[in-house]
Structure 1
């Protein structure tokens, strides 16, 4: 079910999101965007009531490892427009044990919408896909979806994971605790940590209730247990 009143959604965010300094210390210069990438659905349309949200933050050095710094990955991985640590992978609506996706869009994404989002989501294709798969099930307009995402993103303080990566005996619990320490309004139980099969950090996932208050993650969103051994690639 699409949220019909984006002003009420933004009002909830205003109450839920604490003021914070800049979420990302790295510089970014958004490129010009001439067109909107075409996105093909990778699954069925599911129009379900929204019961909560996940803000997925991707660890950019791990994503860029082994990927050609050109094409869709150029802004994020080439380094010519700035460097990235955590970036927004997407804001995903949840529906109890499932999730809505690929809802019928009521407005078209524009190149200007994409450009305005690319310093938090550094790929035109990623922005287009996030709107098409997730945002269409939340609000009527792409600008509203990206504004909600930006408010959540800018409310966060990002730990110095580059420094934490050098610690011996690093665990998923340490990654989670560092984020909770930097953001006192977000308890560790609302912070998911996704490690890949080799134990490297891929994503930090923040779990929210429908009111955008942090809420305990489900096991699938919580990811690695605190005791799991972890590594953080620093892009060197």
Structure 2
């Protein structure tokens, strides 16, 4: 039997304990109709192990879309036809002991087109949403609906800093990016916030570290990413 950490008992706790988001993300989104769920093929081995915590990975969409505005595969996220995005959910990932993580856990459950469509304003790619369930969610929950619901609750409880404004600051660093997030969210410290920069020093992703009960916890070295003093830049999509 595949070991999973049951996340269903903490759903109600999350819904009531997390603050309502303060509308920090000003971008708009109109979800599309999804007629079929993309097929997902595993790209690595199946790993089953106890779940010791979680990571909520938030991608900075303007940087992702910087060279993809004309891409048909990323039209919904990057064309601007249905709105623009700031931070979007790359995925909610279970963590395992000793810096490892479970992945590609066996499950007969598959998300429905309606479940994928409901995620599209958080994860603006049907293929990515389906992949996140197959690679990560199946190691956390029995049903895709539960996995996606937890993702929505976690994201909905965050207050997102105005990184568009912060991008204009002189001497911007990775430490400033993570500190801005911690200051906007009660209970978070900078040590709980990972910052991933690309090879050119632009913000690529923010990784939020949680314990087994979805409380903020210190990121390990793998998830923490760039050191505080690392120079950073944030692409505004202009």
| TM-score, structure 1 normalization | 0.96
Give unpaired runs (5+ residues) of structure 1.
none
- Determine whether 1:93 maps to 2:77: no
Could you list the per-position Cα deviations for residues 79-129 of structure 1 after superposition, in whole angstroms to 9, with x for gaps in the alignment? Answer: 010000100000000002100000112422110000000000000001000
Instruction: Choose which of 139, 142, 149 in structure 1 pairs with 2:141.
Output: 139
Question: Where does residue 41 of structure 1 map in the other structure?
Answer: 42
What is the RMSD of the two structures over their aligned residues, measured on CA atoms? 1.3
Counterpart-to-counterpart distance in 1, 2:17 and 2:49: 24
Counterpart-to-counterpart distance in 2, 1:8 and 1:69: 43
Question: Where does residue 236 of structure 2 map in the other structure?
Answer: 234
1:23–1:154: 8 Å Cα contact kept in structure 2? no
Counterpart-to-counterpart distance in 2, 1:131 and 1:149: 11
Question: Where does residue 181 of structure 2 map in the other structure?
Answer: 179
Question: Where does residue 126 of structure 1 map in the other structure?
Answer: 128
SS at match of 1:71: coil
1:90–1:130: 8 Å Cα contact kept in structure 2? yes
Structure 1 runs of 4+ aligned residues shifted over 6 Å read none
Could you list the per-position Cα deviations for residues 2-41 of structure 1 after superposition, in whole angstroms to 9, with x for gaps in the alignment? Answer: 234x430313424653333345321100011000001111
Could you list the per-position Cα deviations for residues 179-206 of structure 1 after superposition, in whole angstroms to 9, with x for gaps in the alignment? Answer: 1111122111100000011100000000
Question: Where does residue 27 of structure 1 map in the other structure?
Answer: 28
Q: CA deviation at 1:67?
A: 1.6
1:114–1:124: 8 Å Cα contact kept in structure 2? yes
Task: Give the alignment of 1:65-104 within 5 angstroms.
Answer: 65-96=66-97, 97-104=99-106
> Number of residue pairs matched?
235
Give unpaired runs (5+ residues) of structure 2.
none
Which deviates more from structure 2 when the two are superposed, residues 59-68 or residues 91-100? 59-68
Instruction: Choose which of 155, 158, 161 in structure 2 pairs with 1:159.
Output: 161
| TM-score, structure 2 normalization | 0.95
Counterpart-to-counterpart distance in 2, 1:234 and 1:86: 12
Counterpart-to-counterpart distance in 2, 1:128 and 1:69: 23
Counterpart-to-counterpart distance in 2, 1:160 and 1:72: 28
Counterpart-to-counterpart distance in 2, 1:165 and 1:75: 25
Which deviates more from structure 2 when the two are superposed, residues 184-193 or residues 20-29? 20-29
SS at match of 1:193: strand
Counterpart-to-counterpart distance in 2, 1:211 and 1:73: 34
1:23–1:155: 8 Å Cα contact kept in structure 2? no
